[in-house]
Structure 1
Amino acid sequence: MNRRAALKTLGTAAGAFLLDGCMRRGSQVVPGHPPELLHLPRVDVRPELEIRTVVGLRPFRPSGFVVRAENVGDKLVVHNYGHGGGGVTLSWGTSELAARLVREASGARVAVLGSGAVGLATSRLLQERGYSVTIYAKDLPPNTTSNTAGAQWYPFLVYEREHATPAFMQQFVEAAGIANRRFQLMVGERYGVRWIPNFYCSPDPYTSGRFAPGNPLHQFLVDVTAIEGPSNPFPLPYVRRVQTMMIEPSIYLPALMSDFFVAGGKIVVQEFHSLADVAQLSESTVVNCTGLGAHALFGDQELTAVKGQLTVLMPQPAVNYAAHFGDDYMFPRRDGVLLGGTHERDVWTLDPNPDAKQRVLAEHQQFFSGMKA
């Protein structure tokens, strides 16, 4: 698809992996024309403002994440992996479901494999239950996949509708609710979590997808408002504003690490090559939060990589909103303005894709240059 064609189809690709839904439970999309929207600052997308381009591999399973327990040799292994693009978003929810499966008495020693957002949330919840937790991980923040996440609170690319079972959907909605409530309690400077307005922009009316009936996560869409007509500052005619939480990994992950250590947690830097390595651990209960690593370590052949790439521009403090159009999105953070919009399935390389970067930059330049001043 060329750049012009890509922008003509803005808004149509958001449903490609399913998770697009409607409005807050019991409410309607409210027409609204806040005058200040005409004064949203444009993002400066000059290429010379780029400070880095980062790549992360989303651990994706068409049937969704795995939270279950099994006996592996003489150990109880509780799995908590395969979150796709929703790892940070769902972390507290699936970790709560996983923690419920740990059957040890309070005070027992538990091993957690992995130190990304899921591993850290799991570890903290186990500590809150009175367990003595050691994290075993090859990489620690800031060198985890979670550090490259956009980390807006809304699950993305978690499953495919045709492969999701009713049992999974029940798990999914429960996990999302738990996580949403936990992150609300973490809003503030310490954890780098804040509420910001998101603007979803489309060339076509919202008759399907996120803002149409049927989204299993509709109750988590806050303050859904139609921004149309003369108050719409964006270059596409159909806009929905919704409030969501933005999580800053560069603040959030170190804060969780600090909490983990204060509660007596330990970390061992170790890579696991086989189940024989897991069997050597002294703990009798192991929680598997290895993300994409579960493909090789636990033989999950359904689990695959979906490569994502973000180009980060110099911070622009005046920009305090997120924008979504088609496959593209812009997230404002303290450490930079994130420009995204790639998902390359079954691509396992961490090498940046120059063509994808140029496409994303060009599409964002066209979009923001078309905004009303």
Structure 2
Amino acid sequence: MPSEDADLPTPDFTFDADASGACVAGIRPYRCGSYRLEAETAAGRFVVHNYGHGGAGITLSWGCAAKVQDLVRARIAASHETEAAVLGSGVMGLTAATRLLDLGLTVTIYADRMFADTTSHKAGGQWALSLVEYQGKDSELKDILTTSYETFKRGGQDFGVYERPNFASKKTHNLEEILRIAPGLIPRRQDLSRMPFHGHHNPGHLYQTLLVEPPAFLKRLVDDLNARGARFVQQNFDDQTHVFSRVTQKIIVNCTGYGAKKLWKDKAMHPIRGDLAMLRHQPNLQYLYSQGGYMFPRTDHVVIGGNFDCTDNEQPSKAECKKLVRAIAMNFGLAPPMAIPENFIQHPRITEWLRQRRLAPADTPCDPPCNPV
């Protein structure tokens, strides 16, 4: 058992929920059954759908962009088209646009909100399969994970990417699935007799993964796209017909995330909102942490999150952010004990629902459990 002297640095959990930018919220684009990554022809357009990645958009981004590139490459080999449109300026849209430029296409990105206002920009950034379904797609997902991981590793800190240990009190399905689907891609889990932190006496597990800092990563993508001549157009679309009336390009890559529910009438899409508490930057913290929630120390903030709310309301909740911070701080003996709230992802009710979803056939209808509060 590690000694107290070997403990890793303890976070400072000082948090003012009323401070500007202290609380943020985003909508995870959760799609029942599986994410959507396929092409179709509609209204004379070649449409590639790339959405529904839940909380794993950043994780899967480069791999999905490579699949989009393959589909479009096959199309232009026959059609000789030279232009493409991308719908959405989140991580899926920006990485897809990057790979379309690699094909020599002229690329226009249409979005109702620019990258700094997207859920991607608000994400925590751990490289893991968080809140995404993929029934029947293990083989495809292995390729996607491998491409994404290797691309992020090559990008390194220039793209806001850091190799980090993740200490978890329980086996983390989000990382265990990567070990199962793509064995050897990330190091194997280490089992610990004690979590190496002040106030901890429980066993745990150590994973090695990546931390991708969304603000740095997305800004680098946008800067590169601008430098390579991609064009950004701020445009809101009402429905699919409106898309086809405003977008002139014959090739369209649909990366609208939760917006696909309205635009493509995709009833499998559900909003899963998450709050994030943004604590001050603490450079002595070089690890990720998961117990009753999660904590990701980044170079801009220490990010604490882990709740689950079935709403598309993006207004952050100060009360939720305070609970998120307290849930982590109490593990270090720095806050009064509390029961894990029922709308936290690590609550047994949510855990069981996610387990059932993982075992369900791809076409099984689902309704995510809503916040009981």
State how far apart, in whole Å, the 1-side matches of 2:248 and 2:148 are.
31
**Contact 2:124–2:303, Cα closer than 8 Å, also in 1:** yes
Aligned to 2:323: 359
Q: TM-score, normalised by structure 1?
A: 0.81
Deviation of 1:212 (Å)? 8.9
Deviation of 1:272 (Å)? 1.1
Aligned to 1:126: 100
Corresponding position: 1:334 with 2:306: no
State how far apart, in whole Å, the 2-side matches of 1:240 and 1:266 are.
45
Question: How large is the Cα RMSD of the aligned pairs?
Answer: 2.6
State how far apart, in whole Å, the 2-side matches of 1:71 and 1:177 are.
29
Q: What amino acid maps onto 1:104 in structure 2?
A: I
State how far apart, in whole Å, the 2-side matches of 1:175 and 1:42 are.
36
**Bigger Cα displacement from structure 2, 209-218 vs 231-240:** 209-218
State how far apart, in whole Å, the 1-side matches of 2:185 and 2:5 are.
23
Task: Give deviations 1:309-357, integer Å, cap 9, x for gaps.
Answer: 100011111111110013x000001111001110113x11112234322
Q: Which runs of 4+ in 1 moved over 3 A?
A: 33-37, 48-51, 206-215, 217-221, 229-234
Aligned to 2:349: none
**Contact 1:209–1:215, Cα closer than 8 Å, also in 2:** no
- Give 3-state SS (helix, strand or coil) of 2:117's partner: coil
Q: What pairs with 1:191-270 in structure 2 (closer than 5 Å)?
A: 191-202=159-170, 211=176, 215-222=180-187, 224-229=189-194, 235-270=200-235
Corresponding position: 1:303 with 2:275: no
Match of 1:170 among 112, 135, 139: 139
Aligned to 2:39: 69
Q: What amino acid maps onto 2:149 in structure 1?
A: N
Task: Tell me: CA distance 1:217–1:359, structure 2 relative to 1, closer, same or farther (3 Å).
Answer: farther
Deviation of 1:111 (Å)? 0.4
State how far apart, in whole Å, the 1-side matches of 2:61 and 2:118 are.
14
Please list every run of 5 or more consecutive structure 2 residues that lacks an aligned counterpart in the other structure: 336-373
State how far apart, in whole Å, the 2-side matches of 1:230 and 1:142 are.
36
Q: Which has the bigger relative contact order, CA under 8 A and spacing at least 6? A: 1
Corresponding position: 1:321 with 2:290: no
State how far apart, in whole Å, the 2-side matches of 1:226 and 1:173 are.
25
Aligned to 1:187: 156
State how far apart, in whole Å, the 1-side matches of 2:173 and 2:86 are.
40
Aligned to 1:18: none
Task: Give deviations 1:29-73, integer Å, cap 9, x for gaps.
Answer: xxxx78798231111112338651110000001212100011111
Corresponding position: 1:104 with 2:76: yes
Q: What pairs with 1:21-100 in structure 2 (closer than 5 Å)?
A: 38-48=6-16, 52-100=22-70
Task: Tell me: CA distance 1:214–1:123, structure 2 relative to 1, closer, same or farther (3 Å).
Answer: closer
State how far apart, in whole Å, the 1-side matches of 2:121 and 2:172 are.
35
**Contact 2:2–2:194, Cα closer than 8 Å, also in 1:** no
**Bigger Cα displacement from structure 2, 213-222 vs 179-188:** 213-222
- Give 3-state SS (helix, strand or coil) of 2:27's partner: strand
How many matched pairs?
Answer: 328
Corresponding position: 1:272 with 2:237: yes
Q: TM-score, normalised by structure 2?
A: 0.81
Q: What amino acid maps onto 1:296 in structure 2?
A: K
**Contact 2:109–2:232, Cα closer than 8 Å, also in 1:** yes
**Contact 2:166–2:209, Cα closer than 8 Å, also in 1:** yes
**Contact 2:65–2:99, Cα closer than 8 Å, also in 1:** yes
**Contact 1:135–1:268, Cα closer than 8 Å, also in 2:** yes
**Contact 2:282–2:302, Cα closer than 8 Å, also in 1:** yes
Deviation of 1:307 (Å)? 0.5
Task: Tell me: CA distance 1:214–1:177, structure 2 relative to 1, closer, same or farther (3 Å).
Answer: closer
Corresponding position: 1:113 with 2:87: yes
Deviation of 1:177 (Å)? 1.3
